[in-house]
Chains A and B, each alone.
Chain A
Amino acid sequence: MSSKPYQILITNDDGIGSPGLLAAAEALSTLGEVTVVAPRVQQTSKGRSFSRASDGIIQEQPLTLSNGCQIRAYAVGATPAQVVIHALHEIMPVRPDLAISGINFGENAGNCVTISGTMGAAFEFASSGLPTIAASLQLPAETANYYDHDQDIDFSAAGHFTALFGRYLLENGLPDGVDIFKLEVPFSATTETPWRVTRHSRLRCFDIKIDREDSWQSRATVVGVPMHLAPGQAQPGTDLSAIRVDGVVSLTPMNIDMTARIDLNALDQSMRDT
């Protein structure tokens, strides 16, 4: 064993009070020294946004693990991506060896990942060159509650898989060409559930509807409802089909480079041929 423990930084988008965050801290504390820096309030669906309305205030707010141990934890008035900047520039005394975002209430599969605050923090970690896992637990579609920290949701299997891949990253670093490990754990998963490496689906995983009280002058909320997938709609080999169709754990290696995967020279040529 090395003399210095690994430094592990954990954040999320559900806020400092989330049981999913605590589950990640529990699981990762077996691998090293954990520091939690998380948004003070709910930041779901904030993507990698930088809000000018954030106050950036940092409060120390230690968390207690089930074994009674206390870990350093800080609540920040900011979006997940901003929290990451505050954590790296103001709070962490050293550069972390591993950064975790999650465990999120609800899946982040398909193209909604650019809306996800969980992913937003992971993008921010990755652009600082840190090995990072964005971890999410699927919620059952009928009762899904993404905002209220439902205490009855069991994050222990998701914690197990977060630690499993966290250990890999601590020992091996990120594979060449990979910026983020995106982990999706199905709701029914146990620690025995198989896992597989998947592609990121281009499908959207939420149907959008608008809840409006009255006329256009009244308040309205844009809500995402887990999309019903027709048989065959989620392509085999994707994150979406792993958790929704096969009920297995999905690990997607991601890039922060959003350039289309096409032959750019060929496109350039074809567009000049008028």
Chain B
Amino acid sequence: MNQKKYQILLTNDDGIDSPALWTAAEALSELGYVTVAAPQEQQSGTGRSFPITSTGTIRKQTLTVRGQEWPVYAVGGTPAQTVQHSLLEILPQKPDIIISGINYGENIGEIIHFSGTVGAALEAASADIPAIAVSQQLRDPDMYLSNSPDIDFSATAQITVRFARMLLENRFPASASVVNINTPANVTPDTPWHITRLSLHRVYQPVLRRKGGWEDKGEIGGKFTGIDFSTLPEDTDAYTLYHKHEVSVTPLTLDLTARVDLQELESKLRK
């Protein structure tokens, strides 16, 4: 077989110690050379942020996955910062594709605004590199920070490889070069997939926990509120994942212009 060996950068937001990252690394090595550079620590919920407080240190480590040794890089930063450290300091050349994940827990709808998994993919896209953010729904949503070794990510890893290949073969339009993939908790390699759009239905409501007054520590959590599927459009990521229990593939854009007639809006505003 005389196939081109692609350069692949793999990162995530759950940190370098995530078993799901390893499952993805192993599967992606089928496509080319995989460089793994991931945050040193758990970075869930950090979106595409660039905090000035990040240390930016890079530690080269060796990890053994099923007998194979991998050089990997642990970066003191958010997923988006990790992408930049990789592009500017770690990788000898620009990668052909950047994969972010596999995340513990789904990233659908407006959650993607603060998902570190998606944040890394947006950073890749802004550097004109095709990117996939990939997340697997958990049977127990409270496990999202667990990096538990007991969850099987192998089917999602296979699906990631399939879509990475399609992206590398330019089968996505240039204006949709970030792809957000979510797989259901019961995913198998044969679970059907659908191209979807984001659901803007808020599935997690913010919940405040504060013991005592305003001078005491207050935490914001999220509570899964359930969904009325009769009002949820069938072509959305939420419907595909939560109702059909199938794989959702959403092409994203960096252009957030509202889908309205701009001239008409301008004349309305000038009245």
Contact = CB atoms under 8 A, between A and B. Distances in A.
Contacts of A258: 112-113, 198, 252-253, 256
B269 A251 contact: yes
Interface in A35-59: 42, 44-52, 54-59
B7 interface: no
Contacts, number: 234
A220 B56 contact: yes
Contacts of B112: 258
Interface string B57-90: 1111000000000000000011011001100110
Interface string A214-229: 0011111110100000
A51 to B, nearest CB: 7
Given A178-B265, A224-B50, A260-B253, A55 B218 contact: yes
A267 B266 CA distance: 32
Interface in A243-267: 251-262, 264-265, 267
Contact of B214 (A57, A113, A264): A57
A81 B114 contact: yes
Contact of B50 (A52, A111, A222, A237): A222
Interface stretch (A19-27, A62-70, A85-93): A85-93
A209 to B, nearest CB: 7
A177 B195 contact: no
A49 to B, nearest CB: 4
Contacts of A209: 88
Contact of B171 (A85, A216, A271): A271
Contacts of A136: none
A111 B254 contact: yes
Nearest to B208: A89
B50 A51 contact: no
A46 B89 contact: no
Contact of A178 (B55, B200, B258): B258
Interface in B138-180: 166, 171-173, 175-176, 178
Contact of A199 (B50, B81, B194, B255): B255
Given A258-B112, A259-B250, A264-B196, A168 B269 contact: yes
Interface string B231-271: 00001000000000000001111111111101101101100
A263 B61 CA distance: 44
B50 A259 contact: no
A127 B222 CA distance: 14
Interface stretch (B19-27, B40-48, B183-191): B40-48
A196 B266 contact: yes
Contacts of B81: 222
B222 to A, nearest CB: 9
Contacts of A82: 220
Nearest to A218: B57
Interface of A: 42, 44-52, 54-59, 78-79, 81-82, 85-86, 89-90, 111-115, 117, 120, 123, 127, 147, 165, 168, 175-179, 196-202, 204, 208-210, 212, 216-222, 224, 237, 251-262, 264-265, 267-268, 270-271
Interface of B: 45-52, 54-60, 77-78, 80-81, 84-85, 88-89, 110, 112-114, 119, 122, 125-127, 166, 171-173, 175-176, 178, 194-198, 200, 202, 206, 208, 210, 214-220, 235, 250-260, 262-263, 265-266, 268-269
Given A85-B206, A120-B47, A260-B253, 13 more contacts: A49-B45, A56-B219, A59-B215, A90-B214, A168-B269, A178-B260, A197-B265, A199-B262, A200-B257, A204-B127, A222-B56, A267-B176, A271-B171
